[in-house]
Amino acid sequence: MKEHGIQRKYSCSYSSQQNGVAERKNKHIVKITPTMLNEKNLPNYFWAETVATIVYIMNRTPITTIHGMTLEEKFTCKKPNVSHLIMFSYIAYMHVLDEKRSKLDPKAKKCIFIGYSLEQKGYRCFNPSIRKLQMSRDVVFDEMISWYSPLKIVKDGKARNGDVSLNVEQKSQLISGPQESSNSGSSSIPWKGRL
């Protein structure tokens, strides 16, 4: 810096308005992360996947300062495809390949959708039963509820609100679908998925 005559200036303490664009964007991401975790009742150990998902979506969101273009479009000169975007923390049924199961094993695993893969064209899903992050392109999503949505757990004949820790261990997976409407006598469709 001395060779090129560059003077280094620091911002004043506790004056975030002097921060650069990158620092303000980081602050924005840090503020969104607990909001998404709390909204979906996810444990805090999903913070890294939440941040990665936020950045993935922000890179594909139009910005007024670059005339309605997305950051990815500005960088690559191609409009990003957003048809694959799914709501964070949906229940995902991940297909198990024929080579990895026997005839009697289930054809799908129940997981939590937690993001998108940058290396592969697939979805990142967390399997709570084995506590592993898995990637797959063959996923069907239950768009009616999230994994950690408020649940009714029946214990000793009494119904009570769900506990996230019980759901992580998958000791109780009684997940309530949409409630029946009291006005109409018909019930709504309990499950809706898409490939």
**pLDDT digits over 137-195, tens only?**
888 888 777 666 554 555 555 544 444 444 444 433 334 334 444 444 433 444 444 44
Q: What percent of the chain has pLDDT over 90?
A: 7
Q: Is the pLDDT of residue 37 over 70?
A: yes
Domain membership of residue 179 (yes or no) is no
Domain membership of residue 190 (yes or no) is no
Per the rule left: phi > 0, alpha: psi between -120 and 50, beta: everything else, 5 is left
Q: What is the pTM of this model?
A: 0.62
pLDDT at 33 (0 to 100): 92
Q: What are all long-range contacts of 160-164, with beta carbons under 8 Å and residues at least 24 apart?
A: 164/41, 164/43
Alpha-carbon distance of 171 to 173, in angstroms, equals 7
Range of the domain at 86: 19-168
Q: Contact at 8 Å (CB) between 183 and 176?
A: no
Q: Tell me, what amino acid is at 63?
A: I
Nearest 5°: CA angle at 48, between 78 and 161?
A: 115
**pLDDT digits over 80-135, tens only?**
888 888 888 888 888 888 888 888 888 888 898 888 988 888 889 988 888 888 88
Alpha-carbon distance of 34 to 55, in angstroms, equals 14
Please report which confidence band the pLDDT of residue 52 belongs to, taking 50, 70 and 90 as the band edges: very high
pLDDT at 154 (0 to 100): 53
Q: Is the pLDDT of residue 38 over 80?
A: yes
Q: Contact at 8 Å (CB) between 81 and 102?
A: no
Token pair belonging to 162: 């769900």
Token pair belonging to 63: 């910005």
Domain membership of residue 11 (yes or no) is no
Number of structural domains (the chain) is 1
CA-CA-CA-CA torsion sign (150, 154, 155, 158):
positive
Please report which confidence band the pLDDT of residue 51 belongs to, taking 50, 70 and 90 as the band edges: very high
Per the rule left: phi > 0, alpha: psi between -120 and 50, beta: everything else, 9 is beta
Q: Contact at 8 Å (CB) between 44 and 37?
A: yes
pLDDT at 106 (0 to 100): 83
Q: At what angle do helices 47-58 and 21-39 cross, to 10 degrees?
A: 120
